[in-house]
């Protein structure tokens, strides 16, 4: 069932376990080469050094989960469709729990991770698989979104600080040709950022937006020393949006994804040939209810620059396809139901109950 040479898999896993090299995060300026979302490698700490175990979606334990079927014969689109400022929709998902689990990096090993704050699927845990998530329920307003979303838990001293209410998770185009974006395949999963990245790597990460923010303070790699009373601590970060079309996961949980690159001769964003399939860019926009003295605020993974997040796709396929077609490929600024208030004539994707009609 392997869709690539077994020897290559063994070499990559061995390299990950040995941790013989560090993969750079890249500069903020896009280049004409592939830009996988690779974090820095630190001995005994980095996620890429965690050997997979057999079970769940990875029965042979080699770290690769092949897509069935693969998406082949795709050439990155260089088309330039009619200009639309927005091409997005929201997945508004609430926190479900915190737990020292990570079903991507530590799949099948509950309790092995630092503490994470989970959103979306209510049953996400260390043993989660595509099938278990798809059979679960959700704390997202779009009831077809059974995906798991998680990030390191924020603490103020020993107190966990959890976002309140539905958090905004944007699905956007990352490429200029927004009409070329396809829905995620069921079971695709990836990690954005790294708990062992340095402050400089966090700032240079291709998914960086404006770092940690509160009040008039923004573009911070670490938490501001003080936030005005009553404000919230905010962060936004963006995922890669180009897929290799072959793997739902790989040993480092990143190399099957890449950020768009710049088309030679202009500023258009296109997928690199190595990762030709354009998929939605998932942007976390998190708000934490903490203010005042921030000296004791930290993440379960460390200081502010260790922020990262995970995505495990388990959307109902019909629902995700409808949202992508209507909102992203339709060039709309949709809310969580697929409605654009500035283009009411376009209609709505989901009913008042959050389901497809």
Q: Along the 357 residues of the chain, how does pLDDT read in single tens digits?
A: 333 333 333 333 333 333 333 333 333 333 333 434 433 333 334 565 688 999 999 999 999 999 999 999 999 999 999 999 999 999 999 999 999 999 999 999 999 999 999 999 999 999 999 999 999 999 999 999 999 999 999 999 999 999 999 999 999 999 999 999 999 999 999 999 999 999 999 999 999 999 999 999 999 999 999 999 999 999 999 999 999 999 999 999 999 999 999 998 888 999 999 999 999 999 999 999 999 999 999 999 999 999 999 999 999 999 999 999 999 999 999 999 999 999 999 999 999 999 999
Rounded CA separation 190/65 (Å): 12
pLDDT at 264: 86
Respond yes or no on whether the N-terminal peptide bond of residue 69 is cis (omega within 30° of 0). Answer: yes
State how far the alpha carbon of 306 is from the alpha carbons of 37, 139, 194, in Å: 15, 26, 6
Strands 277-278 and 242-243 come out as antiparallel
- The Cα 211–Cα 59 span in angstroms is 38
Residues in contact with 292: Cβ distance below 8 Å, sequence separation at least 6, in sequence order: 226, 227, 229
Query: Phi/psi at 17 (nearest 5 deg)?
Result: -70, -40
- Alpha-carbon distance of 215 to 227, in angstroms, equals 6
Contacts of 44 (CB under 8 A, 6+ apart): 19
Structure tokens of 266? 């202009």
**Tokens 């990950």 label which residue?**
16
Q: How many domains does the chain have?
A: 1
> In degrees, to the nearest 5, what angle opens at C-alpha 298 toward C-alphas 293 and 303?
120
Where helices occur in 39-179 by DSSP H, the ranges are: 130-134
Q: Is residue 337 part of a domain?
A: yes
Identify whether 21 is part of a domain. Answer: yes
Strands (E), 246-351: 247-249, 257-259, 261-262, 269-270, 277-278, 281-288, 292-293, 297-299, 309-312
By three-state DSSP, how is residue 268 classified? coil
Name which of 194, 257, 236 is nearest 35 in CA terms.
Answer: 257
Cα dist from 200 to 19, 27, 204, 214, whole Å: 21, 10, 6, 20
Would you say residue 351 lies in a domain? no
Our CA dihedral for 54, 58, 64, 68, rounded to 10 degrees, sits at 160
Residue 352 placed within a domain: no
- Domain that includes residue 58, residue range: 6-74+81-346
In sequence order, the β-bridge partners of residue 288 are 233
Q: Judge whether 191 lies within some domain.
A: yes
Residue 325 Ramachandran class (φ > 0 left, ψ -120 to 50 alpha, else beta): alpha
The pLDDT value recorded for residue 319 is 98
341 part of a folded domain: yes
Q: What count of residues does the chain have? A: 357
pTM of the shown model? 0.87
Q: Considering only CA atoms, which of 51, 71, 262, 68 is closest in space to residue 176?
A: 262
């Amino acid at each position: 069932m392997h869709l690539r040479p077994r020897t290559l898999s063994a070499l990559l896993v061995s390299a990950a376990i040995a941790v013989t090299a560090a993969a750079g995060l890249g500069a903020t300026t896009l280049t004409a080469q592939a830009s996988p979302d690779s974090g820095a490698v630190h001995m005994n700490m980095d996620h890429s050094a965690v050997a997979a175990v057999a079970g769940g979606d990875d029965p042979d334990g080699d770290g690769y989960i092949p897509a069935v079927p693969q998406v082949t014969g795709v050439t990155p689109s260089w088309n330039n469709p009619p200009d639309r400022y927005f091409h997005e929709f929201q997945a508004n998902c609430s926190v479900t729990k915190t737990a020292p689990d990570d079903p991507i990096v530590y799949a099948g090993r509950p309790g092995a991770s630092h503490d994470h704050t989970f959103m979306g699927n209510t049953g996400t845990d260390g043993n989660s698989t595509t099938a278990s998530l798809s059979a679960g329920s959700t704390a997202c307003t779009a009831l077809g979104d059974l995906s798991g979303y998680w990030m390191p838990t924020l603490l103020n001293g020993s107190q966990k600080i959890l976002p309140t209410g539905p958090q905004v998770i944007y699905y956007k185009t990352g490429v200029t040709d927004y009409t070329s974006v396809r829905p995620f395949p069921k079971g695709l999963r990836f990690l954005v950022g790294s708990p062992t990245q340095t402050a400089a790597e966090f700032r240079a990460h291709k998914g960086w937006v404006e770092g940690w923010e509160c009040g008039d303070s923004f573009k911070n790699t670490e938490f501001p020393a003080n936030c005005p009373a009553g404000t919230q601590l905010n962060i936004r970060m963006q995922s890669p949006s180009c897929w290799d079309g072959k793997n739902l996961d790989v040993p480092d949980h990143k190399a099957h994804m890449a950020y768009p690159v710049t088309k030679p001769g202009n500023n258009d964003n296109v997928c690199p040939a190595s990762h030709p399939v354009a998929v939605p860019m998932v942007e976390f926009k998190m708000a934490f209810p903490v203010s005042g003295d921030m000296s004791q605020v930290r993440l379960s993974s460390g200081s502010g620059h260790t922020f990262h997040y995970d995505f495990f796709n388990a959307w109902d396929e019909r629902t995700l396809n409808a949202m992508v077609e209507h909102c992203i490929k339709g060039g709309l600024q949709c809310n969580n139901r697929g409605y654009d208030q500035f283009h009411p004539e376009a209609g709505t994707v989901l009913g008042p109950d959050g389901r497809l009609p």
